[in-house]
């Protein structure tokens, strides 16, 4: 799963690494979203995910990771339980300009006891905050990886997904 707040880069993240043309459910934003969706720091955003994004990446000959990007707005969260079923873990993508937008995703995965990592997305190629400062601001436990990433860059996204798989495997080992 790739989750996070509205406009944080989830669709871009899935598209950057998917070995197939990703399925996206982007819809043009209409006047109905004015006053509902905060475009303050993303004024050029014209479309939004209304169901999910789907991609896949082969990690090994016999290991394929299916990627499901969630919609970011609260009004679409009713789909998360279905998207989460069978997931090995999640990436919570974070925009440090809007940290509060990711708290609900973190709470969701904590409550579901699903391993997750935090991907601190570099907007405009900039990482204005140190990873440990982001960890502290989000109040995530020390065992949760917090990783800088650029959702546009395939290698960066792959590195985050590899850490997610490692983190999920280590959680299984701890629970066994």
**Consecutive 10-residue runs of the chain (176 residues): their mean pLDDT?**
90 95 72 56 59 85 90 71 88 91 92 95 81 94 95 95 94 66
Number of H helices, E strands in the chain: 5, 8
> What confidence tens digit (pLDDT) does each residue in 33-77 have?
555 555 555 556 556 665 678 999 987 889 889 999 988 766 667
CATH of the domain at 42: 3.40.50.300
Q: Round to whole Å and give the CA distance between 115 and 88.
A: 7
Percent of the chain residues past pLDDT 90, beyond the cut:
51
Which residues form the domain of 65?
2-175
Number of domains in the chain: 1
Q: Round to whole Å and give the CA distance between 86 and 97.
A: 31
């Amino acid at each position: 799963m790739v989750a996070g707040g509205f406009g944080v880069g989830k669709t871009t993240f899935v598209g950057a690494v998917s070995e197939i043309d990703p399925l996206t459910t982007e819809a043009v934003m209409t006047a109905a979203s004015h006053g509902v969706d905060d475009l303050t720091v993303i004024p050029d955003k014209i479309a939004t995910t209304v169901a999910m994004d789907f991609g896949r990446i082969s990690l090994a000959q016999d290991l394929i990771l299916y990627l499901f990007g969630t919609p970011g707005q609260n009004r679409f969260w009713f789909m998360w339980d279905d998207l989460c079923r069978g997931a090995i873990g999640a990436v919570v993508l974070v925009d440090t300009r809007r940290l509060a937008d990711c708290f609900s995703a973190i709470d969701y995965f904590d409550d579901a006891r699903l391993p997750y990592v935090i991907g601190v997305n570099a907007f405009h190629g900039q990482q204005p905050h140190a990873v440990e400062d982001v960890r502290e601001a989000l109040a995530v436990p020390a065992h949760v990886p917090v990783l800088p990433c650029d959702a546009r860059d395939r290698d960066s996204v792959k590195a985050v997904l590899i850490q997610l798989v490692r983190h999920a495997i280590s959680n299984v080992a701890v629970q066994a």
